[in-house]
Structure 1
Amino acid sequence: MADRFQYGFIGCGNMVSAIIQGMISSQFCPSSQIGVSSRTQSRIQALSKDTDIVAVQSNQELAQKSSIIIVGVKPAQYPTVLHEITSSLHSDTLIVSITPSFTLAQLQHMIDHKCHVLRAMPNTPLAVGCGMTAICAPDDVPAEIRQKVVDLFSSCGRVEVIPETLMDVVPAASGSSPAFFFIIAEAMADAVVMQGMPRQQAYSFVAQTMLGSAKMILESGKHPGQLKDEVCSPGGSTIAGIAKLEEMGLRGTIISGMNATWEKIKEMGKKTE
């Protein structure tokens, strides 16, 4: 169908906005080929004004007109939303779920196996082209269809295709962890402000250093521990700071926070079964 959107989004929350902003910033897709439906009209109007995407009146209309549908509503709304669009789906439609709460089998059941379904777990840094997305797909999904989703998320970050058994781990590794990095950055900036640096300048120093450190991990191939050791001179200020962080239990605290995220994901999954 020539009049179908390449990509249709149901929901207009922070994650959907981040994905759309990343797609448009990278010039991956014309805004005229992106449709969005949402029950929160104020958010969709604001996004439409900023990006020139097309606001669609209903979920059913969006499903009828979209080749690839990304469902970005809250987990509790998934059964209702998928049920209401099932009759509007085409056999060649592709549905992408971005919630950790439902398995591929559960999602297929919700749409009566009308079309292919994939799962993706992105994060909000997609908005600035530095996202991290995990994707999993059933074995019967053709490679060219899976590649369309890989291409979408690759346009605004890195992508890993993983088995579904690992999808519950992804929210802790990348989905929720931007919030962890933000609070670490804020704390580091607070410390620098205490020493007299203006706050915005402190954020610039800390954020750029976090960005550069991440780039070194990704591009150097070195173990993070080795990179840490290369900064720590014998008897120097850095190792003194590291020792204090270890004394205060930073490593264990971070692991506990990651595990709490993982446990919550498992709990949410049980509630939706």
Structure 2
Amino acid sequence: MTTAYFTELSRLLTERGMPAPQVAATVADLEGYLAESGSTDAHEEFGAPDVFADRLTRGRAAEPPVTGQETWKWTADIYTDRRLLNEHGAQGWEVERVDPLGRFVCRRPDAAMRWEYRRETARGAKEREAQLAALAPDGWEPCGRWLHITYYKRPAWASAGPAAALAAPPPAPARTMFFSAKFRALVAVFVVCVTLLVILFGFGLVDLDGPWACVRLLGAAVVGLALGWFGVNRDLARGTESR
């Protein structure tokens, strides 16, 4: 029964325009979720396959053919990324991936439509799989990952319907870096601390010849890094935002 359900779902997703690799990945995630939940009835868990396929591909069939497109790469910190993703998504920018430098790689076809974004954190493949299984029914799909942060996108057709189409999108922003005041302040504090250490070492005000001097210095560095990492993760969990 379960095998027949996912076979039918795969066929329907393919008919609705979902690429074959994404079909396979989506079905594998759903099968894994079903196995972990202990359920044996996919129909009861996800609903009728045709309705579920519509939800997973909502907006895909309505996307216009790509006749030409703009590309744009930009970056932001954790205090501005969600707000800016949705602002730029409302201008028709679709994130394709996050590159190794942490930049959002975007495209915008000539006939653009609005996109919606969200940010989630997950540690490990299993947690990400469960997260995707929970979000996929509402049309969300992953569009990039940075450390333990995963970004999701969906066409605004899922919530706005035909109003998601853009008749005349604005020009691409001239900026490529968007950092908040809080992020700049944290960087400034780090630079000041490093500068002070260099000055102390340069003038011999820190004795590195003592038996425990290096150990204490290394311990202070580790504690500082740990506190910084804790603060970043706390702000991620709280969803802290800034300008």
Taking structure 2 as the reference length, the TM-score comes to 0.30
Structure whose CA Rg is larger: 2
Taking structure 1 as the reference length, the TM-score comes to 0.28
Bigger helix fraction? 1
- The one of the two structures with greater contact order (alpha-carbon pairs below 8 A, sep at least 6) is 2
